[in-house]
Amino acid sequence: MFEKFKLEWFANIRGDLLAGIVVALALIPEAIAFSIIAGVDPKVGLYASFCIAVVIAFVGGRPGMISAATGAMALLMVTLVKEHGLEYLLAATLLTGVLQIIAGYLKLGSLMRFVSRSVVTGFVNALGILIFMAQLPELTNVTWHVYAMTAAGLGIIYLFPYLPVIGKSIPSPLVCIVVLTAIAMTMGLDIRTVGDMGELPDTLPIFLWPDVPLNLETLMIILPYSIGLAVVGLLESMMTATIVDDLTDTSSDKNRECKGQGVANIGAGLLGGMAGCAMIGQSIINVKSGGRGRLSSFAAGVYLLVMVVFLGEWLKLIPMAALVAVMIMVSIGTFAWGSIRDLKKHPLSTNIVMVATVVVVVATHNLAMGVFVGVLLSAVFFANKISRFMVVQSEASNGDKVYTVTGQVFFATADKFVDSFDFKDAADNVTIDLTHAHFWDISGVGALDKVVIKLRREGAEVTIKGMNAATQTVVDKFAIHDDPAAVEKMMAGH
């Protein structure tokens, strides 16, 4: 136990502490921007980011993953804030946390098994595009200085690591932010800074209970928003955990992460913050800057609060161009460039799922919707593929007929199964051999009933043999062909 604690917290102290600074600096303008999207004061996003990052460091299931206020969550809050105000948003945040903890105990994190690799790739590519698109307002209708600064920032980010000795020891995004801030101050450039994004808070957050009436009416107002926030938050967190798993070649506890996100959101709501979840962009910045353990997330949250409250005057001077350069690096790093190359190699169905996920997420800015469409398409293609491998072969001799069924019998193959039998040429004795078949659902069992009843109606003696244990269980439970009363009822219904 102690060994695990040491490994997760103190195995990479220097890397985690340095990466935490970069993440905190990149979190500040994002938290402010997401607060503006949601229609609340910047401090709501900043307090939330501090609280969630610190709490998740202790209770999350994926070390090195950064959670804070996010754009996907902010988009879901707009109507609630507009119609009912901030207090109702804080109440919805608390309820979101409770729902996520319940999801963790119901082990819903395990549902990630049903999200195919092509959906994850599509999700990642869509996020890369969205992160890049989010930077475009900072790059439109601006002076050439902004373009020059952004280009210089990207140059520092990508070239600094090649410097001997210091290149690898200091995260290049941090160098980019410091150098560009110094240049902007020295040259007195008139470009947008963090200070132009909104007023930074100058006090520590305080514990407060949302000022809303505790009745059914309040619950009915916040419940739909809380369900949406909980679903999107968990989806984004589970996806990000999968991606960080890949980046670091380690595994994570998805169900613990669900509970951790819930605890972190309850903490955020009680400190006057909005709901948040894992951030793919910040998590990638963290990993690329050398962050690996829980300390990096904890440090990012603490640095964020210290910087905002005590170093606000300095932070206001950071040019947005420096942070845009960092976020462009994130979008480039997030996008799975190999997936474009793989379009030629992968089957058409895999490509359709990936592209559909990207298109839906980018078009709706709704990550949950994109993943839902991707998973649905994956299921349809999978069912179609499996259905092609179901065959029924027949052999007749001396008035006996044997039908050998091979493959999976379920809703997609039930009709094909029935059509494979010749009811007009029914032999005296018919054997249905299921040794190489597997019945999955009531549609498959219903098809078997239909075949047996029709053959018996034609005067054949029907024997079913070779059922495996799973098929036997589902047939014993749902089949009616050996129950005369049920057959009678079924016939009367036709």
pLDDT tens per residue, range 168-197: 777 787 788 888 888 988 888 878 887 776
Contact 138, 197 (CB under 8 A): no
Q: In this model, does residue 111 exceed pLDDT 80?
A: no
Name the percent of the chain lying above pLDDT 70.
96
Q: pTM of the full predicted structure?
A: 0.71
Please check the confidence at residue 320 and state whether its pLDDT lies above 80: yes
Q: Which residue has the higher pLDDT, 116 or 57?
A: 57
What pLDDT is recorded for position 193?
81
- Cβ(39)–Cβ(78) below 8 Å: yes
Residues 126-135: tens digit of each pLDDT: 878 887 887 8
What's phi and psi for 134, nearest 5 deg?
-65, -20
Higher pLDDT, 454 or 202: 454
Does 263 score more than 90 pLDDT? yes
User: For residue 487, what pLDDT is reported?
Assistant: 63
If you ran DSSP here, which 8-state letter would residue 11 be given?
T
Average pLDDT over residues 371-400: 85
The kind and range of the H/E element at 403 are strand 400-409
Residue 62 pLDDT > 80, yes or no? yes
Q: How far is CA 472 from the centre of its chain?
A: 38
Distances (CA, A) of 494 to 118, 301, 421, 462, 490: 44, 67, 20, 22, 7
Check residue 493 and give its pLDDT: 54
Higher pLDDT, 97 or 41: 97
Average pLDDT over residues 348-353: 89
In which residue ranges of the chain is CATH 3.30.750.24 found?
Answer: 391-493
Give 165's pLDDT tier (boundaries 50, 70, 90): confident
Gap between the Cα atoms of 339 and 391, Å rounded: 35
CA 326 to mean position of chain CA atoms: 23
| Spatial separation of the C-alpha atoms in residues 454 and 257, rounded to whole Å | 53
The CATH number corresponding to 391-493 among 3.40.50.1820, 3.40.50.620, 3.30.750.24, 1.10.10.10 equals: 3.30.750.24
Q: Is the pLDDT of residue 494 over 60?
A: no
Averaged pLDDT for residues 397-416: 86
Mean pLDDT of 251-264: 88
pLDDT tens digits along 273-303: 888 888 887 888 888 888 888 899 999 999 9
Mean pLDDT of 332-349: 84
User: What average pLDDT does this structure show over 43-72?
Assistant: 87
Tens digits of per-residue pLDDT, 426-436? 678 888 898 88
